[in-house]
Amino acid sequence: MHWAKEFTLTIQTIMADIKAPEQARPVFPFTAIVGQEEMKLALILNVIDPKIGGVMIMGDRGTGKSTTVRALVDLLPEIQVVADDPFNSDPADRELMSQETREKAERGEPLKTTTRKIAMVDLPLGATEDRVCGTIDIEKALTEGVKAFEPGLLAKANRGILYVDEVNLLDDHLVDVLLDSAASGWNTVEREGISISHPARFILVGSGNPEEGELRPQLLDRFGMHAQIGTVKDAELRVKIVEQRASFDESPIGFRNHYLGSQQELTDRIVAARALLEKVSIDYDSRVKISQICSELDVDGLRGDIVTNRASQALAAFEGRTQATPQDIFRIIPLCLRHRLRKDPLESIDSGDKVREAFKKVFAY
């Protein structure tokens, strides 16, 4: 009987591990990531100001793209949401409320609120449209006369981050769904004459390897920033990265504890920057010069102008300043414009040299 007891305990342990929440898995600390400063800065700025419009990260295999994005989870600040609401409704903004919550607010009913960390939702490549958008229970709607809606990943990602790994391999129909939601901030599901809409404002973060295929121009333009990363060439840095990864694999909890201080410090800076952002300004002359750069580079539309203004202000807020400077603009403008340049179909995305040259010419930098 002794073996049977041990067998039962083993099964219970395995089942407990299976049922353990995904968040319980240790994540590599963001502040422990060596190099790739461009990618890390783009991610941080988007958390400070989600209206920048997300970031596309393209680079070689094994350069830490997915690791860095998932490490961002620890740094995400808390937001206030309506309790028991699957859409993360904002109790202070009716534009970010689900229909049911908005109707309650209009009737004057009190809304129970709670705080929750900004969510990061992974969109798997093989996800169905129903899994992404949500489904309507037609039978329940017809028999009981209620709109029975099962929320999807877009509902969960509202006011959070939607991460698509290998985004350049995503099915075209899912790309269209993301484009519609990213453009409007709403997700609409229609089945058999029944239509349900809910807010879906999220930071779109994608990563991929350019060798596996390019993105459709329509989707590429939706990303506010574009970070290019390459394999680290410096031998000493490569050794440091390998050692850190080995230390983390050997003792994830101990490794994370070593970086608790730096992680908390960075989180505090992000929270302070989000609070300071509305006080940050950029002078008129700089705004004119940003638009002049976009015009000289023949950038289509005005999204490049808007993103560059927002990103430079977010960078100033991150550094605790209330005035964006030309130095701020110089640091972020390649990330905001390089993927919007017109190019020969056989060329890859510009490294940012053309953008920097245009900046130096216009700003006399």
Return the SS3 of 116.
strand
Which residues are catalytic, by number?
303
* 95: Cβ contacts below 8 Å, ≥ 6 apart: 185, 199
* 18: Cβ contacts below 8 Å, ≥ 6 apart: none
Q: What is the DSSP code (8-state) at residue 25?
A: S
Q: What is the CA radius of gyration of the chain?
A: 23
Six token digits for residue 137: 């229970």
Q: Is the dihedral of CA 220, 226, 232, 238 positive or negative?
A: negative
Write out the DSSP string of 346-359: TS----SHHHHHHH
Map tokens 């129970």 to a residue: 112
Q: What is the DSSP code (8-state) at residue 322?
A: S
d(CA 144, CA 152): 22
CA distances from 230 to 100, 161, 171 (A): 47, 24, 26
